[in-house]
A = this chain, B = another copy of it.
Amino acid sequence: MPGPPWWYGRFQDAGYRLTLPRQAILGTLSRTSKHLSAEEIYLSVHRAYPAVGLTTVYRTLELLVRLGIISKFDFGDGRSRYELTTSRQRKHHHHLICSRCGRVIDYTDFIDEETEVLGKIERVLSQKYNFRINNHRLHFYGLCDKCK
C-alpha cells in the first residue's frame, strides 16, 4: 500500500508542518507494535537523528494526540505510553496487562457479544447522561504466564 501515509493530510488540513523530527517520530511509532514511552521514542529517533531533542518529542507527541493520530495510555508504570490510533493498518483493540511485570498484550479477537454490548451501552449512556461518546477503553489486569 504505497503512497504517502494517511496522516500527511491531517497535518496540511490543520496547518502544521510535517517536519523531519515529526516524520522521524511517526516513523518510529509506525514501525513498532509496542507501547513506547516518550523516552523510548526519543532514544529510537535519536539514533538516526541525533539533533532531535527530548522536548521536541514531548511536544510532537502532544500534537499527535491532539490531531488524533496517536493515543496516549497509562499502564501504571509511571510514564505515559503511546501507539498509533486505530486506522487501516491498526485495528481497534483492547488490552491485557500484567500487574506484576507490566507486560501489555493487544487483543483484537473480540467475541461478538463484546462489540455488541459495548455499542449498546454507548447508546444508552449517550442518551441518559447526554454525553457525546467518542471512544472507550477496556483493560484487563492480571498475571501473565511468566508471573503467575
Tell me the A residues contacting B by CB distance below 8 Å: 74, 76, 96, 98-99, 105, 107, 109-111, 113-114, 117, 120-122, 124-126, 128-145, 148
Contacts and interface: CB of A to CB of B under 8 A. Distances in A.
Contacts of A148: 131-132
How many identical subunits does the complex contain?
A: 2
A interface, over-half SS: mixed
Contacts of A121: 109-111, 113-114, 140
26 contacts: A74-B74, A96-B129, A96-B131, A98-B131, A105-B129, A107-B129, A110-B120, A110-B121, A111-B117, A113-B121, A114-B121, A117-B117, A122-B140, A125-B140, A126-B142, A130-B144, A131-B143, A132-B143, A132-B148, A133-B142, A134-B142, A135-B141, A135-B142, A136-B139, A136-B141, A138-B138
